[in-house]
Structure 1
């Protein structure tokens, strides 16, 4: 493809890479949702392997994005925005993998259904991120991206409220100290996962403002 084609926006490789990164982040969240029914069925190690594989796949996408930035002078978006979004998306996948690892080392008898709502919120947040990243390509969906970013902020706010409720119950209960540490760590990782989605959404929102 010629330089003139890239200048006029016909080179789609960066959009393709960013959309692939968003899809990988969403897929990792979906794998995490699938982890729950398998925790007691002996298939949890397989799910963790799937999370690791998705993270490695996403890392390759992120590395290729960096390579393309180094090799291409002309880009359809500002270089720092492409790099920032690629990094933000990868952080979602990395955080989701860490959540899966924590779930697998839960203390015996732990009722993991307590975090099912947070994990569902994480998947929904990742879905919104996919929608937002897909809309960048058109550069004419400023309002749609703004609305999606507001949905993302709403999910984050609801997740923060839920975590505060769960922490209140945890601190006012009589759980063993080790159990308290486990839950606190897991709650905070889930909060971070949703925050990572918000961070990626903010980069998209920032890009949309430039083209509005």
Structure 2
């Protein structure tokens, strides 16, 4: 089996940077979960800002390292694809958070906890998948993790549709329905971004196995 260790040589820095990027995405997902269950949102938004700043710095650093490193660990396009896909997770989460803090008072009684927990699980699977790159491309393990992400994404799709019947049946305020719909879709999109990372990792494993 082809070994990523051989590809990286002295480029272990790419392992570390990608792992840090995945962890920053998980921190954003964890902060989002806290956001929807806590009444004091100011500390949570501060955590978002920290995680987002960290992700931006890592995204930039990985790009700079690609320019400055003669021999790269993976094909450059694969590193760039991972870097880009990881960057989009906290970006999507931040978009949800910014909108949620504005409209949360109008959405009391709508449960976002289950969706936030699902997103946090998805981000944790992403951390595991990026961690597998350091371990020699075990395709069975990576496939199992990708299948987990696909299952979580399917559950996110189900949760996207589930509340609409209730909201419409209750004759809710149309604005309330529209705001909830927008946030549900942002949740589902963030889970999709986690799945996208999983697909990139899996394609790398297939290509190098």
Q: How does 1:30-45 map to 2 (within 5 A)?
A: 30-39=30-39, 43-45=40-42
Structure 2 spans left out of the alignment, 5+ residues: none
Distance 1:50 1:8, change over 3 A: closer
The answer as to whether partners of 1:125 and 1:194 remain within 8 angstroms in 2 is yes
User: Residue 144 of structure 1: CA displacement?
Assistant: 0.4
The answer as to whether partners of 2:106 and 2:176 remain within 8 angstroms in 1 is no
User: Residue 109 of structure 1: CA displacement?
Assistant: 5.2
- State the partner residue of 1:195: 192
Which of 54, 58, 61 is the matching residue for 2:58? 61
Distance 1:208 1:6, change over 3 A: closer
Which of 69, 73, 83 is the matching residue for 1:72? 69
The answer as to whether partners of 1:48 and 1:97 remain within 8 angstroms in 2 is no
**Partners of 2:205 and 2:7 in 1: CA distance:** 19
Which of 99, 104, 128 is the matching residue for 2:101? 104
**Aligned residues, how many?**
205
**Partners of 2:81 and 2:8 in 1: CA distance:** 23
The answer as to whether partners of 2:8 and 2:74 remain within 8 angstroms in 1 is no
**Partners of 2:73 and 2:104 in 1: CA distance:** 49
**Partners of 1:6 and 1:208 in 2: CA distance:** 14
Which of 118, 139, 143 is the matching residue for 2:140? 143
- State the partner residue of 1:24: 24
Distance 1:68 1:107, change over 3 A: closer
Distance 1:34 1:12, change over 3 A: same
**Partners of 2:132 and 2:124 in 1: CA distance:** 13
The answer as to whether partners of 1:139 and 1:211 remain within 8 angstroms in 2 is no
The answer as to whether partners of 1:107 and 1:179 remain within 8 angstroms in 2 is no
The structure whose RCO (Cα within 8 Å, separation 6+) is larger is 2
The answer as to whether partners of 1:88 and 1:196 remain within 8 angstroms in 2 is yes
Structure 1 spans left out of the alignment, 5+ residues: none
Q: What are the Cα deviations for residues 113-170 of structure 1, in whole angstroms up to 9, with x where unaligned?
A: 5121111000000000000000012223111000000000000001111111112322
